[in-house]
Amino acid sequence: MYVFERKEIFFQTLHPVTLLLYILIMMIGTILTTNPFILMGFMTAVVFALIVAKSFKTWIRSLRMYGYMVIMLMTINLFINNMGATVLWVGPVVPVFGRISISLEAIIFGLVMGLRLFIIYSLFIFYNRVMDPDKALSVFSKVFPKSALLVALTTKTIPYMSQQLQSASEIQQCRGLQYYTGNHISRIKNRLPLIKVLLFSSLEDSFNLGESMQARAYGSGPRSCYYPLSFGGRDILVSFSSTMALLALVWSRMLGWTEITFYPKLGTSLTSKQHLYMIIVIGIFMILPVLVAWGWEKWDYLKLKI
């Protein structure tokens, strides 16, 4: 039921702040970039990271779900836009949208946007795989102690409540309500009273919970913590390389190297030799943590040292 599983993965052993920094910088980089070469660097980094995190299969499976979204956006871009100079096909006039025309620029734009969407979705699959919600919450609780408690309480209530829902529905079935036979409407109608039963009993439980929290002296002193989070050599390495990538990204953004012009005519995505070097530098700093993760798994010496 829970998305997160604890496994022997390098990224899961990192400090949550480091991990967040790495993922956030890749995310911001993707949002701020339209240069296809930089985007391909990010894509490579994410795909290798997913392979090292042993969730390549999950990624492939979820691609089908996200494919719909990508295709939708690409189609919209294709039809909505008639600013491209290289027109390939001129279609009929549609009432609200005007004359539909497909240009080469719009196709390239759609492809680049599809790539960006893919990277962002893949990043989140990676995030869901490696970020331990417990650890993230313990960092979060330093800033928002009460809200963190709320999140923890809500999270613990969900599995408990789904058990209660199960047993309540079994009781109702024993009394003769049909949940799995009959037409759709009667099935849904039979399920509706369950919501009432569940709400009533769980709110009753919540009052008991509140009283027991008070009885255990909640809020009467400073917070205790379950386990300390260590910030070690591997964290320094990953944070360093993400920060360097961020600096390189900011620098190339200031030089105008992260974006290309699409309309009316496609701009060049590689302006000079320095631009190429910069892209390589960004790519290296994004892929370095993945390489370390791979080495950590294969090379015991490295595992011992960091």
Partner 1 sequence: MLSTHWSLFSLVIVSASLVIIYLWYDRKAGSTKEIALIATLAAFAGLSRVPFAAIPSLQPTTFLVLISGYVFGAGPGFMVGSLAAFVSNLFLGHGPWTPWQMMAWGLVGLSGGILGRWKWKYANLSLLILSFMWGLFFGWILNIWHWLTFVYPLTLKSFIAVQLTSIWFDLIHASGNVFFMYFLGADLIKILHRFKRRLTVSSLSVQELERS
Residue ranges in 236-295 that form contacts with partner 1 under rule CB under 8 A: 259, 262-263
CB of 80 to partner 1, least distance (A): 5
Question: Residue with structure tokens 């691609």?
Answer: 63
Near partner 1 in 210-229, by CB under 8 A: 210-211, 213-214, 218-219
Residue 94 phi, psi (nearest 5): -105, 135
Binding footprint of partner 1, residue count (CB under 8 A): 71
122: nearest Cα among 243, 22, 28, 27: 27
CA dihedral 103, 108, 110, 116 (to 10 degrees): -170
Q: Which of 85, 88, 195, 225 binds partner 1 (CB under 8 A)?
A: 195
CB of 90 to partner 1, least distance (A): 18
User: Binding of partner 1 at residue 186 (CB under 8 A)?
Assistant: no
Which residue number, 111 or 302, has a Cβ lying nearer to partner 1? Answer: 111
- Measure the CA–CA gap between 256 and 259, rounded to whole angstroms: 6
Near partner 1 in 59-98, by CB under 8 A: 69, 72-73, 76-77, 79-81, 83, 96-98
- Give CA 2 to chain center in angstroms: 15
Contacts of 29 (CB under 8 A, 6+ apart): 38, 42, 245, 246, 249, 282, 286
CB of 220 to partner 1, least distance (A): 11
CA dihedral 20, 24, 26, 27 (to 10 degrees): 140
Q: Are 48 and 273 contacting, i.e. CB atoms less than 8 angstroms apart? A: no
Which residue number, 72 or 270, has a Cβ lying nearer to partner 1? Answer: 72
Which residue number, 123 or 288, has a Cβ lying nearer to partner 1? Answer: 123
> Judged by CB under 8 A, which stretch of 31-39, 234-242, 264-272, 291-299 contacts partner 1?
31-39
Binding mask 139-158 for partner 1 (x = CB under 8 A): ----xxxxx-xxx-xxx-xx
Which residue number, 116 or 275, has a Cβ lying nearer to partner 1? Answer: 116
- Measure the CA–CA gap between 126 and 59, rounded to whole angstroms: 9
